Chains A and B, each alone.
Chain A
């Protein structure tokens, strides 16, 4: 049994937690695993192939119950947990976070403060190939960009997998389900697909931790993560919001500074 499995088994035996959220080996690679018995804890794994962001489950009480749970988290999930706690969505005394460090040792966090210390020397590194794509898109003319995104949005089937996979999309009633007024039409067509993405990305402003869950969830392979990542760059340039860490001044769009730029307002 690996280190992580032993720690998880101990937590379950002591009844400190009712459930350990983790990964197990599936037939086509790792899959999420809800471990409720100490004897199953040996099946838990956490390696670089486990790239689903399990923090998504933390806001879904109907799945995980109301008892204390443990979550095995990789770096993106740890960043998500900090963001969720900054938004008052998690309670420290109902969650234990486990991870494995670079040496393969299990690390246990009981306090969010410990997670932020752990992440302090592990800053968010965005995929260079995505950065290149963003730079290439920015170099295009506006018409080319429009054509590129319209062709991409044309593929969308409005399955909302991006919403389901995103750990920070936790509203109980989403704007797309509101039909009075109906902001976003429910069928799939390029314009309404784009309007949905604009809504999604605007609601992610300053909150996205760049885990890439939306991109992996998209069944038709639209690079929607580029939208949030390009917005991260903008926010960093305009307001000094560091990507991947909760903004200390509060949510970007619900705070302001008197000296924010207004060179575009005439």
Chain B
């Protein structure tokens, strides 16, 4: 079957913590649950380590959507990393919205190591939402502007 796919396939980057969500995603695999293949997982020691610049770099690198996920409150391996991260995202989201960046494309979640099914659902939902929103053309346009200037001039 040589069916040519014309539907837009979103590119999703997931920033996850090592102790909960990464293990949760692992469980999804070992439980043989199928989920959308659009996601690329980047593993971090803790959500507290996920710098806001990493999210901007993901968009600049062509991501259409981003998932940020870690341990549930009070479950952090380092006691308070996710609390600090949560506060940072509150501030960051407000700033991004004020700048006109589409905050619907960044999905925050808590997925524990036991929630393999929740991870599959989270990815599927995010992919469906981003598919509806379409490619993040606005951001790609300005990101490519740099590349043109830098590489071809």
Contact = CB atoms under 8 A, between A and B. Distances in A.
Contact of B90 (A145, A149, A185, A260): A260
Interface residues of B, number: 40
Given A137-B98, A191-B145, A202-B52, A235 B91 contact: yes
B71 to A, nearest CB: 12
Interface string A211-248: 00000000000000001001100110011000000000
A195 B142 contact: no
Given A265-B108, A265-B109, A146 B101 contact: yes
B100 A143 contact: yes
Interface size class of A (residues with CB under 8 A): 35 or more
B105 to A, nearest CB: 11
Interface of A: 137-138, 142-150, 183, 185, 187, 189-192, 194-195, 198-199, 201-202, 205, 227, 230-231, 234-235, 238-239, 252-258, 260-262, 264-266
Given A143-B100, A234-B94, A260-B86, 13 more contacts: A145-B99, A150-B142, A187-B149, A190-B145, A191-B139, A195-B53, A195-B56, A238-B91, A238-B94, A239-B87, A256-B86, A261-B90, A265-B109
16 contacts: A137-B98, A145-B98, A145-B99, A148-B100, A149-B99, A185-B150, A189-B149, A192-B146, A195-B53, A198-B52, A227-B98, A252-B87, A256-B80, A262-B73, A265-B108, A265-B110
